[in-house]
Structure 1
């Protein structure tokens, strides 16, 4: 009896740990968002992204050395890696720009729609089959985005449009991640951070006057931003190795909860009712799409 139940107990413990680690990872991402919103009120997005990327690259250098610089740089389909890195750089830069002018919950609502964009684009870019059930969920998700955006001449502001562009960039970066899934995580992270650094340096070069003076405290805060984000990515990756995706991926929607809580505590933000309704539609459609894809994988990928 003991021999038969031991693996089950181990699996249960691993799943529980995976859940806890994912929740911690989402909390870390949320703290990163709060820090970013606070720092971008003083420093430009380019300056913030530059120091954030440098700090993360320095911390990860021992892992890069262990992997070997040659294997990090000489990769198959380098243009896809470069495009993915560029998309993630646009994603992060757009987020920090948007969150400087918009409440955390509003900004996060647009980013949570990324899986819906992925599902909508996958039939055209990856040749995946999507049935009527998931198309219905995709349309509901898009409706949620429109409700949250509350279309009007006022809502189509530059920050709102940049938020939509950033969330779309994030979605297409995720699509490329599916194409490059055989690439080691270390290599993907190296290209992602290097791309963010190059992208931000271009921004600094375009507006050198936007570089604010730095003291040691500012450098530490900006560096901590990159380290917190890096740790959050590591926690999420570890969680997915300990537990099934169906168990832990839905927990990523706790980002919206923390966005509302931290936005209210630190910045006095209160979400408008349209954002709450739109977020509910986006989360519901995103969860349906995710669980439907998991179900079809178990059935052998039949489209429904």
Structure 2
């Protein structure tokens, strides 16, 4: 946690957007790695057990920070919005991993990335953030890359794909609420999400056909790593949204498709199609365009949003 605080305090105001972008890129790599582990695990275990054990591992990682900032839980701003965020975060994780049980990882991530457009629209409508025309164009181009990679058709729009789209809507809502609650400590926001998924996992386990399956040492390590990686990723996302507007950093979640292709091939042997590779190239190009614009536009006297 001290590292994230130092990033905020040591970053020059004009470079706050770049720091936020860097943290978002790191978060997407971490989430993709954790998602690959989760998909590997749900082949043998129920969604409920994955949520429960992953959340336990994440809370263990965060426990020293939770104890250090325990007083913050007693004075949370806008408690009803905090509760809504926890519920949405829980539904987002559950629907994402449910979709991965039936679809290749890269396909799920591709559907998932539709949330960038939802966030951009939401940030303009609800957060009153300024989204200029070039950024809109770059975001739309990135989404075109998603469509090229996915090649949507009646055959691809199955119910697992619809579940993945629901996950993208929940993720967009999560990011928008996180941005509006940027005064809340990062650790508090992260621990709320794990508490919600732990509760949902405990509820879902009795309904699983196989019930509880005691994991062996190797699978226990996978659960632990997935939880630890997710905890670090959440801290990165929350700090990113404190440093920069959602419309600036959220487009970088498009990089998840690149990681999805990499991990899908390395872990599951899913070889990307030419369309997937072309789409990924378009997405990367759109992301670099936004990054270059932010670097040129970082003025020395610019105040960091949310700082």
TM-score by length of 2: 0.75
Q: How does 1:8-23 map to 2 (within 5 A)?
A: none
Choose the corresponding residue for 1:52, options 30, 51, 54.
54
Q: Distance in 1 between matches of 2:235 and 2:128?
A: 30
Query: 5+ residue gaps in structure 2?
Result: 1-9
Displacement of 1:132 in angstroms is 3.3
CA change 1:208–1:263 in 2 (3 A) is closer
Tell me the secondary structure at the aligned position of residue 101 of structure 1. Answer: coil
Tell me the secondary structure at the aligned position of residue 172 of structure 2. Answer: helix
Query: 5+ residue gaps in structure 1?
Result: 1-9
Q: Is the 8 A contact 2:48 2:205 kept in 1?
A: yes
Q: Distance in 2 between matches of 1:220 and 1:250?
A: 32
Aligned to 2:213: 213
CA change 1:74–1:22 in 2 (3 A) is closer
Q: How does 1:47-126 map to 2 (within 5 A)?
A: 47-68=49-70, 70-126=71-127
Displacement of 1:173 in angstroms is 0.8
Size of the alignment, in residue pairs?
A: 288
Tell me the secondary structure at the aligned position of residue 184 of structure 2. Answer: coil
Aligned to 1:7: none
Aligned to 1:32: 34
Tell me the secondary structure at the aligned position of residue 101 of structure 2. Answer: helix
Aligned to 2:266: 265
> What value does the CA root-mean-square deviation take over the aligned residues?
4.2
2:179 pairs with 1:178: yes
CA change 1:184–1:235 in 2 (3 A) is closer
Deviations 1:71-105 (A, max 9, x none): 31541211211222222222222222222222222
Q: Is the 8 A contact 1:113 1:282 kept in 2?
A: no
Q: Which moved more, 1:250-259 or 1:111-120?
A: 250-259
Q: Quick check: which has more Rg, 1 or 2?
A: 1
Aligned to 1:200: 201
Q: Is the 8 A contact 2:45 2:213 kept in 1?
A: no
CA change 1:189–1:97 in 2 (3 A) is same
Q: Is the 8 A contact 1:84 1:173 kept in 2?
A: yes
Q: Is the 8 A contact 1:140 1:282 kept in 2?
A: yes
Displacement of 1:296 in angstroms is 6.4
Q: Distance in 1 between matches of 2:111 and 2:30?
A: 19
Displacement of 1:300 in angstroms is 7.2
Aligned to 2:3: none
Deviations 1:195-239 (A, max 9, x none): 22223333335x144424214424443233212322344567789
Aligned to 1:157: 158
Q: Distance in 2 between matches of 1:103 and 1:171?
A: 22
Structure with higher helix content: 1
Q: Distance in 2 between matches of 1:100 and 1:75?
A: 36
Q: Distance in 1 between matches of 2:242 and 2:85?
A: 23
Q: Distance in 2 between matches of 1:74 and 1:286?
A: 38
Q: Is the 8 A contact 1:109 1:275 kept in 2?
A: no
Q: Distance in 2 between matches of 1:143 and 1:117?
A: 14
Q: Is the 8 A contact 2:61 2:231 kept in 1?
A: no
TM-score by length of 1: 0.76
Q: Distance in 2 between matches of 1:211 and 1:135?
A: 47
Deviations 1:96-121 (A, max 9, x none): 22222222222233334433321122
Displacement of 1:250 in angstroms is 8.4
